[in-house]
Amino acid sequence: MKLSIKQVLIVANMNKPQAENLVSEISSYLENQEIHVEIFRLSGRVEPPVFENIDLVFSLGGDGTVLFCSRLLRTAGVPILAVNLGTFGFITEVSQDEWKEAFESFRDGRTGLSHRLMIRTAVTRDGEKIFLNQCLNDLVVKANGVSNIVNLKLHLNETRLGTFRADGIIVATPTGSTAYSLAAGGPILDSEMDALIVTPICPFTLSNRPIVVSGEDIIQIEVLKHQRTALNLSLDGQEMLPLCEGDIITVERSRGRALLVLSSKRNFYEVVRAKLNWSGEVDA
């Protein structure tokens, strides 16, 4: 069944040299199809305007541009067609010479969407909620100083999991399982699983290992007193918040999901295999 697409937003990472030419190419094509086009040129840390009544978003850049788009849209339920302008990322499966085929295949109903879990993060300070935002990849609580070791108390629902002495803690989605969490020793999850990963970063005690929990669980991280360094909270490596002793970070599944247009050329596991150089054979 052919979809009705009347308004498209193009979010272009202008740090990519080929972005402007591709913006012009896509805009001309869509306008010839009588589709209204809005363009947001992303460069540095800027506050984007509010876009309404958008049927589809083109994300032109890399994985970071997709993460930005997912937070921009939040719970709007707008599909994202992620076009990679460099080497393939784990999220961006469509190359820059495949965008037209990917768009037409999606519009005509030949390819579908990947529904990606997002997480909502709230920070409570002295009993007052001071921060609320969402992310697609991960949130990280870690040191922001010379001494890396921080002390964090972790709860899962009503269960205390313990006190962690580590460089920090990552809470990752299945999409984020191939990012920072993977580098810190966490597992790779299927991109559409309903689960979260809690990964300690270089824990002082080797018994502190990554755990996979249900997407329905609520995770709480408490910044304990008497830290030796300042701490930061980061979302997708793009949104930052300085933390104070006594802050409580509450992490739970977002009500909405990021909707990513699937590629007809390659799937998640093919991208993972290529990025991680899996051979599939045992060396004799």
pLDDT at 35 exceeding the cut of 90 = yes
Instruction: Give the confidence band of 73 by pLDDT, cuts at 50, 70, 90.
Output: confident
Mean of pLDDT values over 120-147: 93
Contacts of 265 (CB under 8 A, 6+ apart): 93, 94, 95, 98
Alpha helices by DSSP H, listed for the chain, are 19-32, 63-73, 99-107, 180-183, 268-276
Whether 247 is a known active-site residue: answer no
Bridge partners (DSSP) of residue 143 are: 231
pLDDT digits 0-9 by tens, 151-197: 999 999 999 999 999 999 999 999 999 999 999 999 999 999 999 99
- Specify the CATH number for 7-112+262-276; select among 3.40.50.10330, 2.40.400.10, 3.90.220.20, 3.40.50.720: 3.40.50.10330
Copy the structure tokens of residue 218. 């609520």
Mean of pLDDT values over 69-92: 84
**pTM exceeds 0.85:** yes
For residues 157 and 51, give the distance between their C-alpha atoms in angstroms, rounded to a whole number: 36
The closest of 159, 165, 170, 283 to 235, measured between CA atoms, is: 170
pLDDT at 157: 96
pLDDT at 263 exceeding the cut of 90 = no
pLDDT digits 0-9 by tens, 94-108: 888 999 999 999 999
Select which of 63, 138, 167, 236 is catalytic: 63
pLDDT at 260: 95
Fold matches, 7-112+262-276 and 118-255: no
DSSP conformation class of 122: E
pLDDT at 284 exceeding the cut of 70 = no
What is residue 264's three-state secondary structure? coil
Detail the DSSP E strand segments found in the chain.
7-13, 36-42, 56-61, 79-84, 94-95, 113-125, 128-135, 138-143, 150-156, 159-166, 168-172, 195-201, 211-214, 219-223, 231-235, 239-243, 248-261
pLDDT at 102: 94
Instruction: Give the confidence band of 282 by pLDDT, cuts at 50, 70, 90.
Output: low
Bridge partners (DSSP) of residue 119 are: 135, 253
Helix axes 99-107, 19-32, angle to 10 degrees: 40
Mean pLDDT of all residues belonging to the chain = 91
Task: Give the DSSP H/E element, type plus range, for residue 227.
Answer: none
Domain ranges of the chain: 7-112+262-276, 118-255
pLDDT at 269 exceeding the cut of 90 = no
pLDDT at 207: 77
pLDDT at 117: 96
Provide the CATH topology of domain 118-255.
Tumour Suppressor Smad4 (2.60.200)
